[in-house]
Amino acid sequence: MVTDKKLIESLFLSIKKYNTPRYTAFLKGDLKKDKVLSSNPNMLMIMWLMSAQYDAEKASYIPFLLEERLGSCDMNFLASLPLADIERAMSEPTPVHRFPQKRASYLWQMAKLITDKYNGDVENIWQNVSSIEISRRLREIPGFGQKLSSMVPINLIRNLGIHLSDQVTMDIAVDVHVERVLKRTGLCHQDADYAEMALTARKIAEQEGRFAMELDLPLWATGKFFCHEYNAECELCTLNDVCPKIFEISDLYEQKYSITYEEAIIAGINPEDNNAMKLLRKNLESWNYNEPKSANEAYNHHGIERLQLLRQIKHQLKDDIGFSVLYDKLEPRRGQKARNLSNAMGLPLQPWIGLGSSVRLREFVNEYSNYLGGHIIDKKWSSNEP
């Protein structure tokens, strides 16, 4: 553990700067929406419930969409509705979540439990109890797993400024933002695990006569707002003057070439070879999947063309499209007719054209599931998000 006095002082000093950022970062800076969400415990509960297996930014809009579609997010009201109404609101006219039916059922069950057990008042879950008790109560609600249940008390302190009786003994929550800051500042080793990182924060705090949770907000906010995974904005960061900026080799490659270390390996390029990396970037910029030749080469050859196709697929899967939509996008000229036409024109066949093409594409996508961050289940794309 690095005990850089100046760095640690700067971290504690930045607490004032971040104060309580609430949810503006998730709501694209919309202060009005942030105010509504932060002051409405029903909406907050819905947002937390929806954030499991889903993007936090997108989840924070769901309570607003549900209020619009159902008329209210009040738990007593939701509990009084038939489940089918909530299912419809979650799915129509457009699905609000990756798993709308399952989350609708969790929401309905949550509303019933809060009505029966907490008098319909969400705040009764966290008023005058410890963080441990809050987590225990949340785990009784379908859809709240271990991770989500332990994040809520930290959210209450970090984003809403709520004081919990045991917060002096609580550890920070280590997420990807906190991890980047702890490692790039050198406060933790590059291979430190969750427990080690939490322990480091505890020791730093003890050293300064403070408690660990005080570090949670500045670490998280620094990571979220400045210490991005790629293209960290060090010049805007409060730690700029004191941070040694220890970047992982893969971060540096991404910053220099807009290509990750993993992508260079997929393309069969040595990431240490500057010229080859420059050439790869040039190739990626000029590639066009819509040319049948390009798609065909990507499927048939390992190397740059394959990486080009994978990057395109990854980009499209980012929009939460299902596998069948992806298939349609990648094979605009489907079937025997298209096959005959390509033959007649002397064009190479696109790799997914013709019988069994959906199976071929599925196999291809699953082969690269680690890189794409998910896999296909029952013809549907499922992300690896927790």
Positions touching ligand SF4 (CB under 6 A) are 181, 184-185, 222, 226-227, 232, 234, 237, 239-240, 243, 245
Q: Which is nearer to ligand SF4, 31 or 252 (CB)?
A: 252
Sequence letter at residue 270: N
Sequence letter at residue 269: I
CB-based burial label for 119 (10 Å; 0-12, 13-18, 19+): exposed
In the complex, least distance from residue 223 CB atom to ligand SF4, rounded to whole angstroms: 7
Q: Which is nearer to ligand SF4, 135 or 222 (CB)?
A: 222
In the complex, least distance from residue 381 CB atom to ligand SF4, rounded to whole angstroms: 32
Q: Which is nearer to ligand SF4, 223 or 351 (CB)?
A: 223
In degrees rounded to 5, what are phi and psi of residue 384? -85, 10
d(CA 201, CA 187): 9
The end-to-end CA distance of the chain, in Å, is 29
Q: Which is nearer to ligand SF4, 241 or 272 (CB)?
A: 241
DSSP state of 368: T
Q: Which is nearer to ligand SF4, 240 or 274 (CB)?
A: 240
Sequence letter at residue 109: Q
3-state secondary structure 267-283: CCCCCCCHHHHHHHHHH
249-276 burial code (b ≥16 CB/10 A, e <16): ebbebbeebebbeebbebbebebeeeeb
For residues 289 and 295, the answer to whether their CB atoms sit within 8 Å is yes
Q: Which is nearer to ligand SF4, 10 or 294 (CB)?
A: 10
In the complex, least distance from residue 274 CB atom to ligand SF4, rounded to whole angstroms: 23
In the complex, least distance from residue 17 CB atom to ligand SF4, rounded to whole angstroms: 13
207-211 LR contacts (CB < 8 Å, sep 24+): 207/3, 207/8, 208/8, 208/12, 210/12, 211/167, 211/168, 211/169, 211/170
In the complex, least distance from residue 155 CB atom to ligand SF4, rounded to whole angstroms: 22
Distances (CA, A) of 111 to 40, 139, 229, 325: 15, 14, 37, 34
The closest alpha carbon to 197, from 10, 51, 2, belongs to 2
In the complex, least distance from residue 48 CB atom to ligand SF4, rounded to whole angstroms: 27
In the complex, least distance from residue 284 CB atom to ligand SF4, rounded to whole angstroms: 26
In the complex, least distance from residue 254 CB atom to ligand SF4, rounded to whole angstroms: 14
How many angstroms separate the most distant Cα atoms in the chain?
78
Q: Which is nearer to ligand SF4, 92 or 233 (CB)?
A: 233
Q: Which is nearer to ligand SF4, 172 or 232 (CB)?
A: 232
